[in-house]
């Protein structure tokens, strides 16, 4: 990987396009169910321990958060979904907020859908994966907490998940924030789609 992270800073957060920064550089968004390890993954990617807040209590962030990396790339943390204890009125805001985001970012190059490898692709993940191309965005499928599997079981699980969603096993990126698995591979995909 030939890309060095020099700076990674929070820029702003918001719920609607008028709050978002001007779309003047390539952008990658990260979405996923609450508690899958999305915040940890972003921190791992940009080599920062606490750029994005991680939590054992899921379902808290309901804002779209923008981070500036090297003044060259926006990394966007989307609010998590699929958490049962989130109030109904907040759940109802999620769809329009995400749609407002996906439809308004001219330089959005990919949507990384972060999933828990143990749980695989849930129905709401699949909906998001299928929705992305309608906004002209390609989904990148990442399965985190890969450290929970021994190498052989990990291989098996990759095949199982790929079969479930009729994807090529190689398309799936296995990731771990605690064991440093998948980081280079994910950066490679990001640099490829952004042209950085």
Ligand X SMILES: Nc1nc2c(ncn2[C@@H]2O[C@H](COP(=O)(O)OP(=O)(O)O)[C@@H](O)[C@H]2O)c(=O)[nH]1
Interface contacts to ligand X, rule CB under 6 A: 32, 34-40, 54-56, 58, 80, 144-145, 147-148, 176-178
Instruction: Establish if 65 lies at the interface with Mg ion (CB under 5 A).
Output: no
What b-and-e string marks burial along 121-160, b requiring 16 or more CB atoms within 10 Å of the CB? bbeebeebbebbeeeebebbbbbbbbbebeeeebeebbee
Closest approach of ligand X to the CB of residue 106, in Å: 26
Classify 78 as helix, strand or coil. Answer: coil
Q: Which does 56 bind (CB under 5 to 8 A by kind): ligand X, Mg ion, none?
A: ligand X
Shorter beta-carbon distance to ligand X: residue 73 or 86: 86
Question: Binding residues for Mg ion, how many (CB under 5 A)?
Answer: 1
Shorter beta-carbon distance to Mg ion: residue 53 or 155: 53
Out of 20, 27, 39, 144, point to the residue binding Mg ion (CB under 5 A): 39
- Token pair 């994005």 is found at 52
Phi, psi angles (nearest 5°) of residue 19: -90, -15
Strands 27-32 and 64-69: unpaired
Written as six digits, the tokens of 102 are 């996906």
Residue sitting closest to ligand X (CB) = 37
Q: Which does 124 bind (CB under 5 to 8 A by kind): ligand X, Mg ion, none?
A: none
Closest approach of Mg ion to the CB of residue 61, in Å: 5
Shorter beta-carbon distance to ligand X: residue 145 or 189: 145
Written as six digits, the tokens of 44 are 């791992």
Task: Report d(CA 24, CA 72) in Å as an integer.
Answer: 9
- The footprint of Mg ion (CB under 5 A) covers 39
């Amino acid at each position: 990987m030939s890309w060095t992270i020099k700076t990674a800073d929070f820029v702003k957060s918001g719920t609607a396009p008028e709050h978002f920064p001007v779309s003047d550089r390539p952008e990658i968004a990260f979405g996923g169910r609450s508690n899958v390890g999305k915040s940890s993954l972003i921190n791992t990617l940009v080599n920062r321990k606490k750029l994005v807040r991680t939590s054992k209590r899921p379902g808290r962030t309901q804002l779209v958060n923008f981070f500036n990396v090297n003044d060259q790339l926006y990394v966007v943390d989307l609010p998590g979904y699929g958490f049962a204890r989130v109030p109904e009125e907040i759940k109802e805001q999620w769809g329009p907020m995400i749609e407002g985001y996906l439809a308004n970012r001219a330089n959005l190059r990919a949507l990384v859908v972060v999933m828990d490898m143990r749980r695989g692709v849930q129905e709401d993940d699949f909906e998001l994966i299928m929705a992305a191309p309608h906004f002209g965005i390609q989904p990148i499928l990442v399965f985190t907490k890969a450290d929970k599997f021994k190498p052989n079981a990990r291989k098996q699980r990759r095949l199982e998940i790929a079969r479930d969603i009729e994807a090529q096993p190689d398309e799936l990126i296995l990731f771990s924030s605690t064991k440093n698995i998948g980081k280079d591979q994910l950066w490679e995909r990001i640099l490829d789609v952004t042209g950085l």
